[in-house]
Amino acid sequence: MSDDLKDRFARLAAAVAQGRDQAAFAELFDHFAPRLKSYLQRLGMEPSQAEELVQEVMIVLWHKAALFDPAKSSLATWLFRVARNRRIDALRRDRSGLIDPEDPALHPAQPEAADDIYDAEERDERVRRAMLDLPDEQAVLVRQAFFLGRSHSQIAEETGLPLGTVKSRIRLAFSRLRRTLESDGGGLTLH
């Protein structure tokens, strides 16, 4: 993640903390909610459970943004730590008694290697730049499908577009993104 983006998120969090800035919160929600949900699902949560937990995390941001200290961590690190801790709390509250003490969620994750973090942030930045070249009608659908995790059918229902149109626009956008990313020399390909 670029320093500019980290600084922007820190400023937005400060705006939420100091003035309950709804626009700042909305921007942070739009950016982090899908990423948090994806993270929680990778840890084994069902989509509906992950969504509920993401809501809890974002409520923490709304009410406790003043606790975030940009000198100690990035906002992303802070929010993902809150999500991880909330997930562990939820597992501990599980009344079924079927908690596996060896569940990786109950053990601290190994820190990600710096070069892996850098590569991921660079890749994300390249994809964001490539997304700017897409026509709006395609970019909106790609965001819904890949960043919000919606199915083509859900997108069609929400937008009122025919399912075939949704699939076609996403396929065209994906093809265009692939060409852009392959031609920029970074070696990133989409499958």
Model pTM?
0.50
Q: How far is CA 97 from the centre of its chain?
A: 31
Query: Looking at the structure, do residues 81 and 129 belong to the same domain, yes or no?
Result: no
Query: Looking at the structure, do residues 55 and 147 belong to the same domain, yes or no?
Result: no
- Using the 3D structure, point to which of 84, 106, 128 is the last residue of a domain: 106
Q: Are 28 and 141 in contact (CB under 8 A)?
A: no
> Which amino acid is it at 120?
A
- Using the 3D structure, point to which of 90, 106, 122 is the last residue of a domain: 106
Query: Looking at the structure, do residues 85 and 23 belong to the same domain, yes or no?
Result: yes
What would the pLDDT profile of 109-140 be if each residue is shown by its tens digit?
Answer: 666 666 777 777 787 778 878 888 888 888 88
pLDDT value of residue 133: 85
Structural domain range at position 64: 3-106
Mean pLDDT of 180-190: 65
Instruction: State the residue for tokens 């964001």.
Output: 128
Q: Is the pLDDT of residue 191 over 90?
A: no
Query: Looking at the structure, do residues 169 and 89 belong to the same domain, yes or no?
Result: no
Does residue 190 belong to any structural domain of this protein? Answer: no
Structure tokens at 128: 């964001």
Query: Looking at the structure, do residues 33 and 122 belong to the same domain, yes or no?
Result: no
- Using the 3D structure, point to which of 106, 127, 148 is the last residue of a domain: 106
Instruction: Give every CB contact of residue 113 below 8 A, 6+ residues apart in sequence.
Output: none
> Which amino acid is it at 141?
L
Q: Is the pLDDT of residue 100 over 80?
A: no
Q: Are 61 and 16 in contact (CB under 8 A)?
A: yes
Does residue 171 belong to any structural domain of this protein? Answer: yes
Query: Looking at the structure, do residues 50 and 77 belong to the same domain, yes or no?
Result: yes
Does residue 135 belong to any structural domain of this protein? Answer: yes
pLDDT value of residue 44: 82
Q: Is the pLDDT of residue 91 over 90?
A: no
Q: Are 159 and 169 in contact (CB under 8 A)?
A: no
Burial track 18-54 (b if 16+ CB lie within 10 A, e otherwise): eeebeebbebbbebbbbbbbbbbeebebeeeebbbbb
Mean pLDDT of 62-83: 88
pLDDT value of residue 108: 66
Residue 23: give its domain's CATH number.
1.10.1740.10
Distance CA(143)–CA(131), nearest Å, equals 9
Mean pLDDT of 84-90: 84
Does residue 178 belong to any structural domain of this protein? Answer: yes
The structural domain count of the chain equals 2
What would the pLDDT profile of 141-168 be if each residue is shown by its tens digit?
Answer: 888 887 777 888 888 988 899 999 999 9
pLDDT value of residue 147: 73
pLDDT value of residue 188: 52
Query: Looking at the structure, do residues 9 and 56 belong to the same domain, yes or no?
Result: yes
Which pLDDT band holds residue 18 (cuts at 50, 70, 90)? very high
Least confident of 46-50, 82-86, 100-104: 100-104
> Which amino acid is it at 95?
R
Query: Looking at the structure, do residues 68 and 124 belong to the same domain, yes or no?
Result: no
Instruction: State the residue for tokens 């509920």.
Output: 52
Distance CA(135)–CA(81), nearest Å, equals 35
Burial class from Cβ neighbours inside 10 Å (0-12, 13-18, 19+) for residue 185 reads exposed
pLDDT value of residue 109: 63
Query: Looking at the structure, do residues 18 and 88 belong to the same domain, yes or no?
Result: yes
Query: Looking at the structure, do residues 81 and 23 belong to the same domain, yes or no?
Result: yes
Residue 165: give its domain's CATH number.
1.10.10.10
Does residue 82 belong to any structural domain of this protein? Answer: yes
Query: Looking at the structure, do residues 123 and 171 belong to the same domain, yes or no?
Result: yes
pLDDT value of residue 164: 92
